Amino acid sequence: MREDKPKFEEPQIQEAQEQPRDKDLNWQEAEKNLEKFSGIEPEIKEAVVGLNVFGVETVNSCGGHFNRGRIAPWVSIEKWESKPQERYAGQKEFEQQVYERLSVVEINQRNWDYVKAHDEMAATFLPSGQVEFDKLSEDDRRQMAEKDEELMKKYGITPEVTKQWMDAGRQAEKEIEQAGKNGRLQETEEYKKWKAENDAMKDRVQALLDEFYKDRKVPKSARIIIDQDGTGLWCIHNGGKDYYDVTRHEDEIPDADKKHYQKILDGKNSEKEQREIEKRLADYRSQFQEFARFCKEKYFG
């Protein structure tokens, strides 16, 4: 679930200088900022608030599920409002050349035209964005689906066309990444600055985690860590082998992890194994809840 950037200035990890009333208002504002997101799960919400008040911008989160998603709880962070459109100088032109070589220029334009039209249509039902979808009536959902079907017919969007578009996009991303590694494309100064700000935010999280675990002894799998997921986002999570990063490319995932995850998804675990997974998930969630309390005590301490 995507969350908005908190609308107050970032305090530092060191002892904050705000007055108690200012801190109360900041905490309440962070909570209020998340209330409009009906999708944010209660198991992770307080941890998200705690991160926000320390100036950590969260973009997606999940409280964990024993049979879907990444299984273990997680929170991804990024300064997404200031993210540059391009990482490399000349990236758009390079990408266009890839699309021309793959003969998907027309398909690419058609899909983007559809996406634009779909977003404009959706905005008439969801003026504040996708977060309002759960509040739509059944009739509005039906109308929205019918209008979307009309748009797909208008722009000739079929499953085959969508797959071709997405495959071309992945190929373009792969070639852009390779061109960046071999020096053919150079990162822009704007992107370098943005990346440094994200890395500094990651360091802020790591400092909080180091302090949180200073005098705590917990199983390695339950210990909260921060690393990068398959999209390059910094992701805060625990879970050990139970954490399955669905954003990674299949080639990057060990076969044993794939089998473990697929067994969970298919419900093929024995009752004993299932109870053990659910117990571990409770432990993972408990760590995030304790971390949330730590952040709150530190902020108001």
Domains held by the chain: number: 2
> Does the residue 167 lie in any domain?
yes
> Does the residue 100 lie in any domain?
yes
Q: What is the pLDDT along the chain (301 residues), one digit of tens a residue?
A: 444 444 333 434 444 455 666 888 888 888 888 776 656 888 999 999 999 999 999 998 999 998 888 999 999 999 988 999 999 999 999 999 999 999 999 999 999 999 999 999 988 887 765 555 667 788 988 999 999 999 999 999 999 999 999 899 989 999 999 999 999 999 999 999 999 999 999 999 999 999 999 999 999 999 999 999 988 899 999 999 899 988 887 777 888 888 888 888 888 888 898 899 999 999 999 999 999 999 999 999 8
Q: 198 and 293, same structural domain?
A: yes
> Does the residue 2 lie in any domain?
no
Q: 215 and 293, same structural domain?
A: yes
* Start-to-end C-alpha separation, the chain: 30
Q: 290 and 212, same structural domain?
A: yes
Q: Of 166, 187, 208, which residue is a domain's last?
A: 187
Q: Tell me which DSSP letter residue 4 carries.
A: P
Global confidence as pTM: 0.79
Nearest 5 degrees, angle CA 176-CA 60-CA 202? 70
Q: 182 and 111, same structural domain?
A: yes
Distance of CA 90 to the CA centre of its chain: 27
Q: 265 and 148, same structural domain?
A: no
Q: 77 and 194, same structural domain?
A: yes
Q: 270 and 232, same structural domain?
A: yes
d(CA 29, CA 295): 16
Q: Of 156, 187, 218, which residue is a domain's last?
A: 187
> Does the residue 129 lie in any domain?
yes
Nearest 5 degrees, angle CA 211-CA 214-CA 219? 115
Q: Of 152, 170, 187, which residue is a domain's last?
A: 187
Q: 212 and 70, same structural domain?
A: yes
**pLDDT of res. 18:** 56
Could you identify the residue written with the tokens 């822009």?
188
Cβ contact 71:281 at 8 Å: yes
Q: 181 and 195, same structural domain?
A: no
d(CA 145, CA 38): 21
- The 10 Å Cβ neighbour count of residue 172 is 21
> Does the residue 51 lie in any domain?
yes
Of 204, 290, 298, 283, nearest to 238 by C-alpha is 283
Q: 175 and 201, same structural domain?
A: no
Q: Is 213 helix (H, G, I), strand (E, B) or coil?
A: coil
> Does the residue 5 lie in any domain?
no
Burial class, 170, CB count within 10 angstroms (exposed 0-12 / middle 13-18 / buried 19+): exposed
> Does the residue 13 lie in any domain?
no
**pLDDT of res. 264:** 83
Q: 225 and 76, same structural domain?
A: yes
Residues facing 61 on adjacent strands? 75
**pLDDT of res. 120:** 92
Q: 141 and 116, same structural domain?
A: yes
Cβ contact 69:90 at 8 Å: no
**pLDDT of res. 294:** 97
> Does the residue 1 lie in any domain?
no
Domain of residue 242: give its range.
Answer: 20-83+190-300
The first and second tokens of residue 196, run together, are 């440094």
**pLDDT of res. 4:** 41
